Amino acid sequence: MPAILAGRAPSPGLPPGRDGTARIAHALRHNYHPRRGHMNLILNDLSPWHWAAGGAVISAVTLTLLFVGNRRLGVSTGFENVCSLVVQTPYFTRDALRGTNSWRLPLLGGLLIGGFLSAVVGGGWEPFWDLGMFDAEIGWGNGGKLIWMFGGGLLIGFGTRLAGGCTSGHGIFGLSNLELPSLVSTVSFMAAGVVTTNLIYRLIL
């Protein structure tokens, strides 16, 4: 049923109707944002790097960690390192975790600094509280968005600990190292993403 028949007008800039595939493709092509119109990135309409350049930088970081520091690339475990600074439960005080604070915490700090420098070089950035199609199609308000993001973060955190790593540890390092558990985890990540996206865009939006 078209959105207008359900009591709400179609979102501006999006193709009408409930063809989930077309709407997803349109949103990805244009990085749709209801208040700002079509844009490339949130950083002042800058075009993103070519995928090959981004891949080369990620591979350089991965190889440097492996051959220079004998370390595995991984980001989600870094949040455990952050928690170990303030939480004194046995899980967060184990030697295997705290022994990596000396390099994993600087890695997380570098990610934040790198994002900041990218924004500065690109001419600055403007924080906003909009969630694009979520606001246009669902519109739960600020409280609903907080619940949505908290729930999503909770599921991501649980899933990464259950899998023993995230898309960086499994999808980048583990696959490049031909590790079977990483292959299983990455396929599970992708399959869950495909199913969830189709459920949301075909049944909810």
Overall pTM surpassing 0.75 (yes/no): no
Tens-digit pLDDT profile for residues 187-201: 999 999 899 888 887
pLDDT digits (tens, 9 = 90+) for 10-57: 444 444 444 545 555 555 444 444 444 444 455 556 677 788 988 898
Q: How far apart are alpha carbons 198 and 179 in whole angstroms?
A: 29
Q: Among the ranges 173-177, 180-184, 200-204, which has the highest mean pLDDT value? A: 180-184
Task: Give the Cα separation of 159 and 99 in Å (integer).
Answer: 23
Q: 37 pairs with which residues across the strands?
A: 33
Share of the chain above pLDDT 90, in %: 20
| Helix pair 76-84, 141-163: axis angle to 10 deg | 100
Question: Per-residue DSSP letters for 81-144?
Answer: HHHHTT--SHHHH-HHHHTTHHHHHHHHHHHHHHHHHHHHHTT--------THHHHHT--HHHH
